[in-house]
Amino acid sequence: MSKLAEFMEIVKSYVLKNWNNKNLITSVLCVYGVYKAIYYTFFDKLRKIPGPLITRFFLFPTNRAKSTGKYTDYLFSLHNKYGPIVRIGPNMVSDSSAADFKKVMASYKFSKSSFYDGFGGAHQNIFSTKSEDFNRMRRRQIGPAFSQTGLDSVESIVEDICITAFIKKMNELVEDSNGSAQFNYFKYYQDVTADVIGELAFGERFHAIENNGHPVTGWVNASMRKSFIISSFTLLKALMPFIPALDTVVPELKNFCLQAINNRRSLIKSGKFDKDRIDILQMLLVAVNTSNKKPLSDDELIAEMATMVIAGVDTTSITMTWLTTYYMLYPEVYRKVVDEIRSNFPDRNYKISDKEAREKLPYFVATVYETLRIRGSVGGALPRDVPKEGVELSGFYIPRGIEVSMFIAGAHRDPKVWGHDLSFNPDRFMGPNGENLKKELLAFSSGVRICPGRNLAWAEVLMIIPNLINNFDLRFPKTSLYGPNILDPSNGNEPMVPKDVTYATRPPENPDRDCNIIISKRS
């Protein structure tokens, strides 16, 4: 018999002899505390994993970081101190190794952890599901909409929103302000991506650009924050089916999706729906669940459509927000981008397509890659469960049942891949070596769970930003708290970057204050 087993026999004997003692509860709690201390100090399978002592016993520091939006900063602080593998809870580790990231994401062996339960709603969806079969099924059902062929079929629609409608709105702002206007680019980028996902998902745009916004962007922000916080706490997830207020999709967004579903059914029933128009909603309405051979229920449809809206609005707009911010902080980079765009497309009225941007604007494309590396739109980590055979990661054996969180932002600073100069430097993605580094980018995840909407995200960025810059000059207002000469001593005297906040995605912490810009017609 092991010493731990002997100790537990002594505890059991004591409890049985004193079960009616008024101090029993206190005694049991004390004994339990001693047991946990002994176990996690001498017998714990993760005892060799470095990390703060408190994380051997409690999840509190990790959950506090998650609930306050500081999870990315928290993980950086731990990895900077302890290395690529660090313990963040009794049964959790975080991993910032790029090689480990690809290893874990390469197959379905590492299933999504319980963190995803309830993410984006009480019903499983393409993002939250832990089932390999379910994920494959949904990808088959909606995959054509996000394939390059599918996007080519709606290119004119996306172009009309990302270029025509957006540039028209910018011109109106400038003309109404006598040639120079201040606008919040975080907000307007959300308006554009909202209109795009409205068209591709529901078959009708939200008209957020023309109307200076749409409630859907607020619903998205609230749902993302709520999903991340509730998914971090086991008790809240367990109570979600019984307490409607805990549903991670705000009711306004759920009702909006349900109304759109019912409207589409009415159009189909009346024969007024254009059968040649195929969007994500229509794909799901005609889809059949392979598990029960039945069409998707209303709850399943709402879960998928809400997920599409949340993912489609938030991530791409955040990428463009950080890209614009870095242009303003690094004027020499911005000037090179301006020169490249305007020399290749001297006619400001010419509509630059995403394909032309990719082919003719290599430096601009490099700045997008570098922004995705240094400040990607996905924050925190992607938690996975270690399979029964266990796994070795960065020299440490991780046993089955442990949750390993793959830290994307940390992997994007892995010195084995990116070297030790981690400052904003788009040149790293230029030339033959740059082409190789592009394959190391993990902003859209990797392997079997790679983001199905990555082609759409690239198309939006490659349309919106080049056409914006080809038409307008951009600069921070004089009242901005940030600029190329406002330096950060803690980051090698690089320009100070606005703080971010992590609730699954990683937007600026204070976009209303920090994401304002002056635009004027190009000189």
Pairing verdict, β 391-393 and 396-398: antiparallel
Q: Are 151 and 142 in contact (CB under 8 A)?
A: no
Q: What share of the chain is helix, strand, coil (3-state, %, to 5)?
A: 55, 10, 35
118: left (phi over 0), alpha (psi -120 to 50) or beta: left
Pairing verdict, β 180-184 and 516-521: antiparallel
Structure tokens at 289: 């669940």
Binding site feature residues for heme: 451
Report the chain's C-alpha Rg in angstroms: 25
- CA–CA gap between residue 442 and residue 425 (Å, rounded): 17
What is the enclosing helix (H) or strand (E) of 396? strand 396-398
Binding site feature residues: 451
Q: Residue 479 burial by CB count (10 A; 0-12/13-18/19+): exposed, middle or buried?
A: exposed
Enumerate the H helices of 166-292 as residue ranges.
166-176, 185-197, 215-231, 234-239, 251-270, 280-285
Q: Are 507 and 318 in contact (CB under 8 A)?
A: yes
Helix (H, G, I), strand (E, B) or coil at 497: coil
Q: Are 523 and 473 in contact (CB under 8 A)?
A: yes
